[in-house]
Each structure stands twice: as C-alpha cells, then as structure tokens.
Structure 1
C-alpha cells in the first residue's frame, strides 16, 4: 500500500515540543520564531525531516505557519484547514488566524513588541516573504534575526534524515521535448531578462528542465536539488551524489555538469566574484541564497521562475499522455464506484476500508507509480472537512442515509490524475440533492466556458460559484488548480480562484474543475474533473477566437443525487454527452460483471 492510516501527529505535540523549542530559542536570545510549513525547496508536500511545523504544533496540513513566542503562539492556516487545525492542535497553546488575512508579518505588526528579537530560518523563507517581514520589523521596531541554526532542528532530537532516493530519467516518449531543447528555450528567457544565469530552486522545475524524476517527496515524483543555467544553455545540476546513477550523465550530455548540492554555496560565491547578473525568483528562492549572492558581489535580477510557464503549458505528447492516463484511471474509479453502489451500501464499510479498496483497484494497473496525494475518504461529517485525511483515530463508517466524498489521484509515467466524486449511502435528503445539483451546475458552467486569450482563472471563478451564490451558499477553497505531468498534483502559475491571479490561461494548461459545498458537522460535496485549455478557434458569427476546456477525467457522476428539474436543457445535454463519452471510452476496460450497472450509471436523463 502507498498510504498508511496511523495518526502522524496529535494534540500532545505542543505540550511535548514547545518547551524544547523555547529552550533553544532562549539560547539564541530569540523572543519569537516563525515556523512556515515550507521546506528549503518550497515544496507543497515535504519530506519527513522537514515537517517542522507539525513537530512543533501537531498540525499536519499542507499549508500554514506558526509564530512561537516565549509566552504565546498562533496557528495560521487557510480556509481548507479551519476545522483540521483545531482538531490537531491544542487550543491551550495556540490562538488561530486565517493566513490569507493575517500572514505572519501582519500578525507580528499587531503582536510583536518593540526591541524584541524575532527569528526566521533564511533557507525556509523566500525573498518576497522576508521583505514583508522586514517592513513589519521597521514599523514595530522589533529586530528580525536570520538564524544560522534552526532552533526546531536543534530541539528535534529524533529528526529523520534527508532522503537520498535515486534520480530516474523521464523518457522522451513521455516528456515530448528533450532537456537540451528546454535548456535552450529557457536560455532565451535569461538573455531577455538581461541576466547571465538563473538559479533554479524549485524541484518541479528541476525535474521538468532536465527530464528527471525522483522519490524524495511522497506523492510527487520529485528529486531534491538545485541548478544553475547560464544564458548559453549550459547548466550545473546540484544534487546529492548518492542519487546519481551511471545513466544520467550520458543522457544529459557534456553541457550539463553534475555536482554535489553542497557545492552550490561555492558556485554562488564564484558568480559573485565575477560580478555576474543572476536571475532568481523572489517567490521561490531561499532568501539565504540571494543574500549570499549579493554579499559575494553578484547583481540580482528578479525573474519569475522561467520554467514555470513552459512547464504548465503541456506539449502534445504530454496532453496525449494525460488523456491515456485518465482513461486507465477512470476505469479504476468506475470499478470503485460500482463497489460503493453495492457492497458499501451496507453501512458497515468504514473510510479506511474504502480508501484501501480504491488503492487496491488502482494498483491492479502496472502503470501506477504512486498516488498523487493521500486519498480524502470522507464519510458524513468528515466529508465537510475539505482536506480531511482519515486515520485510525478519525475513521468512521459510511453510514446509511449519508453522503461519502472521495478525492483521489494517481501518478503514472504519462500523467497525473485528480478526481472527486460524491455518492449517497442509502437515501439522500432533499437538501443533499439540492446542494449536489447546484455544485454540478457550477461544474458544468465552467466546463462549457468559452473565453478569449488573456482571460485569467480569477475571472472565471465566479461562474462556478453562481448557482450556490444564488441561494446564499459558497465554499472556501479555489475552484481549480494546475496539475503537472507526472509531477505535482498542484501546480502553478495558473489557477481558478477568488484570489486575484494575473496569469492568463494558455492552451495546454491542465487544471481541476472542482466546485463544492460543505455543511459543517453533516456532509460535504465536491465534483472534480481535470480540464485542458484548448487552442483558440473561431466562433460562428463572432469576431474573436475563443479557447475552451476539454474535460479529460472520465468516470460516472452520480445521477441519483441530481435534481433534474434544477438543470437547464443545456446542462442536461452536457451531462448526457459527458456520460456518453464515459460509456464509449471506458466500455472496453469495464469488466462484464458490472456492465449493466455501468450502463445505468451513465444513462441519459
């Protein structure tokens, strides 16, 4: 099994660990210390050794931060984790704030005292975040201290070792473009920015640029490392020597020098000595690297990671791979939905059993490399926790007359999948069916959108929410996130969300379409498919070409939860055509014993 279900933390963590942390803070004469969830690479899902926030607080979510003072502490998380953070952390030790409204710098503006010393680890904070902290320090008068030794690491007595898993070559038949082509493309961006080289610090960009993958991070096939790419297209890849096999140097060729990651400091110093102009992404690069470059004499060119947008706009090979991966994955999901509609209707199946069943079905494909995230298997009230992770402590049964929400995905060489379905166990209430249908209406509205070049996901977000807004309802997460190609299940720079985002949607981008509704303490609903932005094409009678979304996820959407009278004719047509495509595409992969059920599950309404 890829996933386990034992609790990874509990409310006792703060009582056990904060005294140890505060002792180390005192040794460094710190009145406060900021702990982000982020690791040194700004990964979303991080290796065990980097779970510093969880060790100190008990919170295991994938986004958040804490500010630990000598006599108080605050947990900062977003709307996805409003319930989870209170369940996992001890309120006797923490106050709670929404990190979107009150990030660490804002909290310190309101709570830090003049002349206090507030510490941060410059390897865990980007230039952008440190700039905000410095502004707060100047306004309040506290001293912002970059520590050379993280007090969490000093206090964490049994901290795991950093991973050293082998780097694997990502075959050209999946990547669609050679590393040499990619490096030359990015070199042009460096020249355009007026820089001599760029420091690549984000593992997804490293993996994309060199056509490599790894196992250093759970659920994301990433190798941890750094790279320097100069304006000629030549590069130095900095990774632990233990990760490099005999195959890699020959494949990358003479224009790529592979060196130990520990050699990066010396390489940055050398760039400074030559007065080089070095491009860095202020939102991704550790502030320590930028300070080191400046101190050595380099000039800093602030540049958004030049790999991010090319990585997000998939080529035809990657799109074809994504379609293929979703067909195989869709067949597995359909088999699971049949199981949910039969055996799981007993009311005796629990969340862990269901998650294991889904993983077992997916694992029957030899192509599955990993899950793309731990399965969200939420029955009843647990389904109302957006990023719920079932454990042996929280596990409940899929009870009669309730809803079950399952959000899951797989990692395949040719694509990354992410799908959510909501199904009734027994009979659903009229309220459940109404909310489900409104979520479906929003999902369909986004799936059917036509939009011109330059349109951002921020501009489209309200379209998916309108059917809920019409009756005074909403949800507190984004409507869509970018998805990688055998990379992270969450990928930027594109997204569909309330928060402003200047990145225009471009052909080849893969995103999720996942509106939802959550009634705290009772049930949760989400319908998620992945969509690809198509090439622009003329519209009959129109003046501008329009792009659209191609839905690539293929699996039945539960029809027993649909209130047909709430759907327009256009919405019914979309749903029927979608199910017809599901039926025709997956039929060759569906076992004969579920064909009758499959025909019913994809029937026209």
Structure 2
C-alpha cells in the first residue's frame, strides 16, 4: 500500500550510520566505498535485506548510489530524484547530479592524491568495474574488491525472502520452457551461458516468485548449457513445488554450489558484462575458463511477447481499466467534499484493484502526488509527508497491478476543482506528446532514441521539457520496468513487434504541480497503406483504456488529427470498459468519454 519507513531506513539515522561506516573504513585502511542501490542480481528493485543504500542514507529511489569518502559522502541521482533526495537524506550527504557528473570524475576530484576505494564485487557489473578501473588508474586511485562494508555494521538486517517459487502455466506464456531452451541453443554446439538476471530466469523457465516486492521474480542463478539443459541454483525448499514443472532437463542445486560449478565449466562460458556481477567474472578468470562476452540470450526474446502474452495483457488492462474507472469516479465525487489525503487516495485505489479478485500484487509503490508533491517524479507518500488533496490543485496518480496474465502501469493527472489556464496549457502539451507516440508510424529498425523527441515537441515549442525518458519496457507478469526496449535519448535497441512499452511524457513545475499522462502500448506491424512502397513499417497499439481529464484539455490547441484520436480513444474506452462497470461508475465513464 503506501510506503512507510521503519527505523532501519529513517533519514535521521543517516549521520550516525555514516559515522559508523567511516569508522569501519578507517579500521580497514580504506579511503572510500561504493554503496550501490543494486543487489547481487543487479536488479532495479531489491528485497528489504538488500536495501543498503536506503539503510545508510534514507534515499529510497529505484536508481542511484552513494560514495563515502573521509570528508564527503555523495548520493548520485538522476533527474527523477533531485527533489526526492533532498527530502529523504540528512545534510551530511551531498546530492550529485548524475550522469552529468560521472562517478570517475567525481572521485578524481575528491581524491586528487589517489587512494583506495572498496566495492563489493557481487554488487557491481563487469562493465562498470572495468570502465571505472581504467579511468581511475591513471589518477592513482585503486579499486579494491572487498567484503561488503555495510553488512559489517547493519546488525538488524532483515531475513532473506523464503516463499516458494511457482510455475507460470503454458496457457499464459504461449511457449514452454523446453521450447525456449531449445530455441536459444539451436545455433550453438558448445559452451554455456551464465544467466544472472532474475527476470531472465523467470522467463526462461516459466517460473515466478516473490523474492522482490512487486516484481514476481526469483533470487537464483542459472547456467544454460549448449544442449538446452539448465543448472538452477536456488534454495532447494523454494523449488519443491516446481519440480514437476521443471522436468528432467533442469537440475536444481543449492546456491552455495554456484561458485564451484562455475569453476567446472569447460568450453566457452558466455556472460553478459553489462549485468553479470564482477565477482562471477573473477571466479571464471581464476579458474582459467574461456570467457566470452555476449548479450544475455533471454533479454530480447523476453521483450518480444507471444500472441498469448499480448492477449493476456489486453485482458489485464481491461480489468485494470475498470478498476481505474471505479476509482476515478469515486475520486471525482469524494475529493470536492474535502478531507482526503494522499494516503486515502492510494488505499482506495488499491482496494478497487483488489476487488477484481485477480490482483496478485501492485506492480510498484503507488505514486500519488497532490499539488507540489506531483513535481517529485517518483514521490511516494509516507505518514510523515501525507498531504491533503486540496481544491484547484492537480493530483498525479501513477500506479499499476500485477495480474497472472499481465502487468499494468498507468498515470492519470486530474484536477480537483477548477484548473488554471497554465494547468490546461501544460496538460494539453503533455497529452499532445503522448498522442504523437500513439499515432506514430515508423520504419522498422528504428529505436526509442529516434522517437523520443516527438513526445517533447509541443513542450519544446514553449521552452519546456521533462527530465526522464518517455517510455520503458514492461514485462508479462514480470517487472514493470523491463529492458532492453525504451523510448528515450539513450534507447538504442531497435523496436520490434511484441514489445510492450510505456508512453508517458510529463511536465513538472517545482513547488507547484506535476503532470504525467501514461498509457501502455504494444509495438505491432503497421497496417498496409495503399500506394506505399515495400518498406517494413511499425506502429503502436494502445493497451490502456482509461479516460483523460477533459477539464484539463484545451481543445483549441489540438490539431484535427489529435482531436480525432482523443475522441476515438474515448469512444473505444466506453465500448470496452462500459460493460465492466455499473451504476455511478458507468455514468461517470459515459460523461468522461463524451466527444470534445
């Protein structure tokens, strides 16, 4: 539900914990230490027992890291978290704008005479450490692989999750894990792949788990062999229920056997250096294995959903859309009466989703920002920050659900009361950006970096912008943030049919309000056009079906094509969601979907 902070991650604990960490470093003769957000599986989201960055600093964003030196402790955050980090960390920490300021440049600046900086090799990738080592070596700074320095002082660390893994059935995946394993190994006759990403293992073996909050993936490692067999390394008692599902070609081993198994591999051993822990590469190197750098073989196939998965996503979005419509109808009636807070809104939204009797979990902690809180891109309400939903303010709600047939992610910004002219102008510009992506027809082979500017054009024309990507990949009852696809200036992977992405431009005025509008879309082969050449073209099909706030749309700013798109979207939404709701929610939907 809404996010709370125990004493283990309270910002006021930051100074004492920083002092204890520096004492630990001094005792070990170390000048500094890297404290990443990631865990040993290099995931964006981590279990409570792996929340080292939050425990030390109080910062809970899903991206970032800290560097602790004798005289300064920097917390590196990107544009999404520059407001949040100020609120969550004590003044003993210095926010660092990243990636504008690189880690290597920052270290060189603050250790001009060189020194030793420790890192946990299980928490950093091969690529990360290789690049950092090369940049620091010329300046006399040594990176030292060492036992985790936080774990040595975190005395009340939570236990590791122990819930059993479970199978994702064929009727929801559209492809058996035997076929996936055969497909990935069809063109090779020797060697192995070390697979470390939890969602890659979940996809490959058609299993799910609850080791990470909101993301149904397992804490495990896998070795995929050239003959299609797999050695899976995970607690044996967590795999009892899936033994029959895995079958004879997948052998389960206890996690403590993983290191030794790596040393026994003969032939080329393929690792993805961008996601594989540096410790794994070191184990293989020490064993004189033939290491080959290659992309995780699951990443691209996982991103291109099967027809069954796409059908499941459509079903999940209709179910979720009905819950959202019930919620928005309730909100429209309750908010003007006063008395609501952000926590009330979050709790009520989750109630509507749970009332579907199909929700397995929310897909991430709900973002509900009233007024100025909406300008904090990934704001999470707590009991300490809970703010009233006030008249004539914007309310931004970004949320989603995990259903067995699909993962949803939707943002709607609504007005409580009467919008200002500025509210309507900014909202309409953001909506124009979302429509531009939704209507787009583009040549096959383009990546998200080629599309991103189209979502910003209306904002740019008014001298405005936003500091996050326009879209991220989304899994199929997997992670709500899934690579490799995306729509951003840094997205270089070509978009392909079956990829599901978010489409979520925004605008944020610090101290005043935030606007974001988000639908999920699936990349499809574009319909043929009469008179077109034979160039393969792609387009997007919208999955999300929830009305926009018509009170915030300045229709006079829209082109005829944009107006037609909105009216058609609302007509389709009424047709698809209308039969799924009744009473006041049905009446609200009919009104919300009236043509502009």
The two structures have a TM-score, normalised by structure 1, of 0.96
Aligned pair partner of 1:231 in 218, 222, 226: 226
Q: Is the 8 A contact 1:109 1:139 kept in 2?
A: no
Aligned pair partner of 1:520 in 510, 527, 540: 510
Q: How many residues align?
A: 594
Structure 2 equivalent of residue 129 of structure 1: 128
SS in 2 for 1:534: strand
SS in 2 for 1:391: coil
SS in 2 for 1:33: strand
Give me the whole-angstrom Cα distance separating, in 2, the residues matched to 1:118 and 1:473.
40
Once the two structures are superposed, residues 193-213 of structure 1 have per-residue CA deviations (whole angstroms, 9 ceiling, x without a partner) of: x86000000000000000000
Structure 2 equivalent of residue 116 of structure 1: 115
SS in 2 for 1:502: coil
Aligned pair partner of 2:575 in 584, 587, 593: 584
1:14 paired with 2:14, answer yes
Give me the whole-angstrom Cα distance separating, in 1, the residues matched to 2:2 and 2:375.
22
Once the two structures are superposed, residues 302-353 of structure 1 have per-residue CA deviations (whole angstroms, 9 ceiling, x without a partner) of: 1111100000000000000000000000000001111111111223210000
Give me the whole-angstrom Cα distance separating, in 1, the residues matched to 2:171 and 2:104.
46
1:291 paired with 2:258, answer no
Structure 1 equivalent of residue 523 of structure 2: 533
Give me the whole-angstrom Cα distance separating, in 1, the residues matched to 2:52 and 2:301.
32
SS in 1 for 2:520: strand
Q: Is the 8 A contact 1:346 1:400 kept in 2?
A: no
Structure 1 equivalent of residue 259 of structure 2: 265
Give the drift of 1:97: 1.4
Q: Is the 8 A contact 1:537 1:545 kept in 2?
A: no
SS in 2 for 1:365: coil
Structure 2 equivalent of residue 71 of structure 1: 71
In structure 1, list runs of 5 or more residues that go unmatched: none
Aligned pair partner of 2:415 in 415, 418, 424: 424
1:398 paired with 2:389, answer yes
1:460 paired with 2:451, answer yes
Give me the whole-angstrom Cα distance separating, in 2, the residues matched to 1:7 and 1:576.
47
Structure 2 equivalent of residue 171 of structure 1: 169
Give the drift of 1:498: 2.0
Give me the whole-angstrom Cα distance separating, in 1, the residues matched to 2:40 and 2:237.
19
Structure 2 equivalent of residue 348 of structure 1: 339
Q: Give the 5 Å matches for 1:41-440.
A: 41-91=41-91, 93-147=92-146, 149-188=147-186, 191=188, 196-245=191-240, 247-271=241-265, 274=266, 276-440=267-431
Once the two structures are superposed, residues 476-523 of structure 1 have per-residue CA deviations (whole angstroms, 9 ceiling, x without a partner) of: 011000000000000000000122x32000000000000000010001
In structure 2, list runs of 5 or more residues that go unmatched: none
Q: Is the 8 A contact 1:506 1:533 kept in 2?
A: yes
* CA gap 1:195/1:129 in 2 versus in 1, 3 angstroms: farther
Give me the whole-angstrom Cα distance separating, in 1, the residues matched to 2:131 and 2:427.
41
SS in 1 for 2:550: coil
Q: Is the 8 A contact 2:2 2:346 kept in 1?
A: no
Q: Is the 8 A contact 1:109 1:136 kept in 2?
A: no
Give me the whole-angstrom Cα distance separating, in 1, the residues matched to 2:113 and 2:291.
31
Give me the whole-angstrom Cα distance separating, in 2, the residues matched to 1:531 and 1:128.
31
Once the two structures are superposed, residues 22-68 of structure 1 have per-residue CA deviations (whole angstroms, 9 ceiling, x without a partner) of: 12212221100011101000111100111111111111111001110
Q: Is the deviation greater in 31-40 or in 108-117?
A: 108-117
Give me the whole-angstrom Cα distance separating, in 1, the residues matched to 2:116 and 2:353.
51
Give me the whole-angstrom Cα distance separating, in 2, the residues matched to 1:581 and 1:417.
19
Once the two structures are superposed, residues 353-373 of structure 1 have per-residue CA deviations (whole angstroms, 9 ceiling, x without a partner) of: 000000011100111000000
Give me the whole-angstrom Cα distance separating, in 2, the residues matched to 1:524 and 1:157.
39
SS in 2 for 1:44: coil
* CA gap 1:85/1:195 in 2 versus in 1, 3 angstroms: farther
Structure 2 equivalent of residue 25 of structure 1: 25
The two structures have a TM-score, normalised by structure 2, of 0.98
